[in-house]
């Protein structure tokens, strides 16, 4: 195995598939928890799962851990402690690694953040979505504006200043003024990072069956533009399609995805991507999706939901789909480092998109122009 391979960063994603209530817009692998969570059995399953993956990543070190969901803040600090201790015992973790936990206001009791921190969590991602009670209700959230403020304040009180707030815009009936009020409220809480997503209507959701009335495109564009300017002015420049933060607070775990590095995925429905440049391929692997099936089979060959080799012909677009989400793009050399393909395979198309003004002309970088970022799908289409 070439040393080269060992230099591709490796992250770990852990999925927790339960929520108090399913939100009408959500198509993530999340299920309503009826009664208490089988957390002991689930942590056992996660550890068995990671153990089964170990031979695929011998000698490689984990740079970040992200515990997402679902609502992982429904787990007790004890369960998280057992999970993180179990991971440390099985995998070499980088000493100063980022360990993020997604936490929902309304699904985290007061005081729990300090226990989470003691268990090893050093970053939170708090799913606020909005600070407007009417919008929170339309989104089917279990929390109100007060609980959103309380969660961010509790994070500071626990010494977890490194937290992200998830906000959405383009909400049912939302005006520009209301969206900007959400931004002002978020800024007042001094988060380290902000994720700002346009609400999309996904198949297999209740919003898809009975769609709410959303603001028109002009309003949504105006919101995005004003919010972006407001955030930049307050020290949170946009660095990815939906992510805003000072440079030293960027999310390392997500950067790993956008830079097309590798990751292990454990938990119900979790996906992994692993490179084997020696064999000349990139491998995708996913786990059984339904929590009950996963609980019964994790760690056995039957716990693997599926597995596929990525075709060489798909690699350029897969790489660019991630890398071109970054406002600054990536060094051009990263293409070969991550895909094993020479940059020349892109050349005719690169020239064309540069001429169309979708990509910056700097030969040393692959970087979208402002227009390229705005019409990212058009840009990617050119490489398909
Ligand atoms: C993995 S999800 C859920 C995290 C957490 N359970 C929560 O709801 O707070 C991460 C984020 O994706 C965003 N999201 C989920 N569904 C979305 C949709 N249909 N459109 C836009 N953003 C969405 C939300 O901001 C959410 O906080
Ligand atoms: S709480 Fe988060 S993961 Fe759960 S249903 Fe709502 S948006 Fe989806």
Query: pLDDT tens across 115-134, in order?
Result: 999 999 999 999 999 999 99
CA angle, residues 329, 11, 331, in degrees to nearest 5: 20
How do 281-287 and 304-309 pair as beta strands? antiparallel
From 25, 26, 244, mutation site for ligand 1 pocket: most ligand atoms within 8 A of C-beta:
26
Asked if the model's pLDDT at residue 151 lies above 90, the reply is: yes
User: How far, in Å, from the CA of 349 to the mean position of ligand 1?
Assistant: 34
pLDDT at 5: 55
Query: Is the separation of the CB atoms in 128 and 186 below 8 Å?
Result: yes
Asked if the model's pLDDT at residue 110 lies above 70, the reply is: no
How do residues 326-375 score in pLDDT, each as one tens digit? 999 999 999 999 999 999 999 999 999 999 999 999 999 999 999 999 99
Asked if the model's pLDDT at residue 80 lies above 60, the reply is: yes
Supply 115's token pair.
Answer: 């226990």
Residues 6+ apart with CB under 8 A from 314: none
Query: Is the separation of the CB atoms in 130 and 136 below 8 Å?
Result: yes
From 71, 126, 151, 268, mutation site for ligand 2 pocket: most ligand atoms within 8 A of C-beta:
71
Kindly report the protein residue whose alpha carbon is nearest to atom 2 of ligand 2. Answer: 70
User: How far, in Å, from the CA of 188 to the mean position of ligand 2?
Assistant: 25
Instruction: Please list the alpha-helical segments (H only) found in the chain.
Output: 3-6, 39-53, 77-90, 112-119, 133-138, 145-157, 176-188, 206-209, 217-233, 252-258, 291-297, 315-323, 333-339, 347-355, 370-374, 376-381
Rounded to the nearest integer, the mean pLDDT of the chain is 96
Kindly report the protein residue whose alpha carbon is nearest to atom 24 of ligand 1. Answer: 166
Instruction: Say how far apart CA 210 and CA 159 lie, in whole Å.
Output: 42
Q: Is the CB of 168 under 6 A from ligand 1?
A: yes
Query: Is the separation of the CB atoms in 368 and 379 below 8 Å?
Result: yes
* Three-state SS at 86: helix
User: How far, in Å, from the CA of 154 to the mean position of ligand 2?
Assistant: 21
Closest CA to 128 of 101, 157, 102: 102
For the residues of 222-280, what is the DSSP string, one character each? HHHHHHHHHHHHTT--EEETTEE--GGGS-HHHHHHHTT-EEEEESTT-EEEEEETTTT
From 17, 28, 242, mutation site for ligand 1 pocket: most ligand atoms within 8 A of C-beta:
28
Ligand 1 atom closest to Cα of residue 127? 9
Instruction: Say how far apart CA 258 and CA 376 lie, in whole Å.
Output: 14
Q: Is the CB of 69 under 6 A from ligand 1?
A: yes
Supply 241's token pair.
Answer: 């399609």
How do residues 154-181 score in pLDDT, each as one tens digit? 999 999 999 999 999 999 999 999 999 9
pLDDT at 276: 86
User: How many Cα neighbours within 13 Å face the side chain of 331?
Assistant: 5
Closest CA to 253 of 28, 62, 66, 22: 66
| Cis geometry, peptide bond prior to residue 281 (ω within 30 degrees of 0) | no
For 131, phi then psi, to 5°, come to -110, 10
Per DSSP, what are the bridge partners of residue 126?
103, 165
Ligand 2 atom closest to Cα of residue 69? 3
User: What sign has the CA pseudo-torsion 71, 73, 76, 82?
Assistant: positive
Supply 277's token pair.
Answer: 């440049």
| Cis geometry, peptide bond prior to residue 70 (ω within 30 degrees of 0) | yes
- Is this prediction's pTM over 0.95? yes
How do residues 229-268 score in pLDDT, each as one tens digit? 999 999 999 999 999 999 999 999 999 999 999 999 999 9
Asked if the model's pLDDT at residue 2 lies above 50, the reply is: no
Closest CA to 326 of 381, 266, 379: 379
DSSP letter for 326, please.
B
For 130, phi then psi, to 5°, come to -165, 160
Ligand 1 atom closest to Cα of residue 201? 19
- The band of 278, judged by pLDDT with boundaries at 50, 70 and 90, is confident
Instruction: Say how far apart CA 284 and CA 307 lie, in whole Å.
Output: 6
For 12, phi then psi, to 5°, come to -130, 125
User: How far, in Å, from the CA of 270 to the mean position of ligand 2?
Assistant: 16
């Amino acid at each position: 195995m070439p040393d080269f391979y060992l230099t591709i960063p490796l992250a770990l994603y852990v999925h927790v598939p339960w929520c108090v209530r399913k939100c009408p817009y959500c198509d993530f692998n999340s299920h309503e928890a009826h009664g208490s969570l089988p957390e002991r059995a689930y942590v056992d399953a996660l550890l068995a799962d990671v153990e089964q993956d170990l031979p695929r990543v011998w000698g490689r070190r984990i740079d970040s851990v992200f515990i997402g969901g679902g609502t992982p803040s429904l787990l007790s600090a004890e369960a998280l402690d057992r999970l993180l201790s179990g991971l440390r015992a099985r995998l070499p973790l980088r000493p100063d690694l980022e360990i993020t936990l997604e936490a929902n206001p309304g699904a985290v009791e007061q005081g729990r953040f300090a226990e989470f921190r003691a268990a090893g969590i050093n970053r939170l991602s708090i799913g606020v979505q909005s600070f407007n009670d009417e919008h929170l209700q339309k989104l089917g959230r279990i929390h109100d504006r007060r609980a959103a403020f309380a969660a961010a304040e509790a994070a500071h009180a626990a010494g977890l200043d490194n937290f992200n707030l998830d906000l959405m815009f383009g909400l049912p009936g939302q005006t520009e003024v209301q969206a900007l009020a959400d931004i002002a409220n978020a800024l007042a809480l001094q988060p380290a990072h902000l994720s700002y997503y346009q609400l999309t209507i996904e198949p297999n959701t209740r919003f898809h069956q009975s769609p709410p009335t959303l603001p028109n495109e002009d309003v949504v564009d105006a919101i995005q533009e004003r919010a972006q300017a407001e955030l930049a002015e307050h020290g949170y420049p946009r660095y990815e399609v939906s992510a805003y933060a000072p440079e030293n607070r960027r999310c390392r775990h997500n950067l790993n995805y956008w830079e097309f590095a590798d990751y292990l995925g454990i938990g119900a429905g979790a996906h992994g991507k692993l490179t084997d440049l020696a064999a000349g391929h990139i491998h995708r692997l996913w786990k059984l999706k339904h929590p009950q099936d996963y609980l019964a089979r994790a760690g056995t060959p039957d716990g693997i939901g599926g597995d596929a080799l990525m075709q060489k012909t798909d690699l350029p677009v897969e790489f660019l789909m991630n890398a071109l989400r970054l406002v600054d793009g990536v060094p051009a050399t990263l293409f070969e480092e991550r895909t094993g393909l020479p940059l020349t395979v892109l050349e005719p198309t690169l020239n064309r998109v540069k001429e169309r003004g979708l990509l910056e002309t700097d030969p040393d970088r692959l970087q979208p122009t402002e227009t390229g970022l705005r019409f990212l799908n058009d840009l990617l289409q050119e490489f398909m």
